[in-house]
Amino acid sequence: MGNILSTNHIKAIRALSAKKYRDETGLFVVEGEKMVSEAQESDFQVVEIWRRDEIGYDAMARISQLSSPSPVLAVVKAKPLNDELECQGLCIALDGVRDPGNFGTIIRLADWFGADVIYASEDSVELYNPKTVQATMGAIFRKKVIYCDIPRLCRRFKEAGLPVYGTFLDGQDIYGQTLSKEGLIIMGNESAGISPEVAKEVDSRLLIPSFSNGPTAESLNVAVATAITLSEFRRRL
């Protein structure tokens, strides 16, 4: 790999922090020993790897997208995120999830709880955003993410005879509902929740109840709500 990074090469790697250049090049950055190792073991194409002890701290600091440069950084080729809709198994659909940390954490949760596919609306945050990538903790290399029209996806699941669930503040207590081992679970935007267009397609409106006797937060963080919801679905198996 060599141990010298040219100024132009440094600029090219740094540019990948911007979506514009990720889109133009079809590349994204992965940092950290575990993440780079997961990338190498996956079916993603690793284009190049740079190690801090080979190129020096200063050079790594210049190409790193983290506040403290990691020991190793890889440039990886992105995969297309539009594919055939797979209406089977237990899947998650994200309706306008904008925070990259939430998005990445939900992918990690899908990996942990064995959700088959993560679908996302076109207005959700980009999968290859550096913060999303890091928040997945490697799950990005194992779970399939597809961007699509969520109302159409819901209709496809229902045509396949599978239920469509959604989480709402006015839903029915999740702990008292019948839950299927297969179906689609919709999680909504951090502040607005599930959009009206998608809500029309939901078969079962679920609520994660509060058990507090006093005032509580208005709602749960979407990643936390996803963890609780998936846990309850899997507990029923």
5-53 pLDDT, tens digit each = 889 999 999 999 999 999 999 999 999 999 999 999 999 999 999 999 9
Q: What is the mean pLDDT of residues 64-82?
A: 93
**Complete domains list, the chain, with CATH:** 7-77 (3.30.1330.30), 90-235 (3.40.1280.10)
pLDDT at 211 (0 to 100) = 84
Rounded-to-integer distance, Cα 208 and Cα 119, Å:
22
What tokens does 194 get? 């599930």
Which pTM value belongs to this model? 0.92
Termini Cα distance of the chain: 49
Per-residue model confidence (pLDDT) at position 84 = 81
Integer Cα distance of 236 and 181 in angstroms? 8
DSSP letter for 189, please: B
Contact assessment for residue 31 and residue 73, using Cβ atoms and an 8 Å cutoff: yes
Q: Each residue of 202-232: pLDDT tens digit?
A: 999 999 998 876 666 677 899 999 999 999 9
d(CA 26, CA 28): 7
1 has pLDDT over 50: no
Q: What is the mean pLDDT of residues 100-128?
A: 97
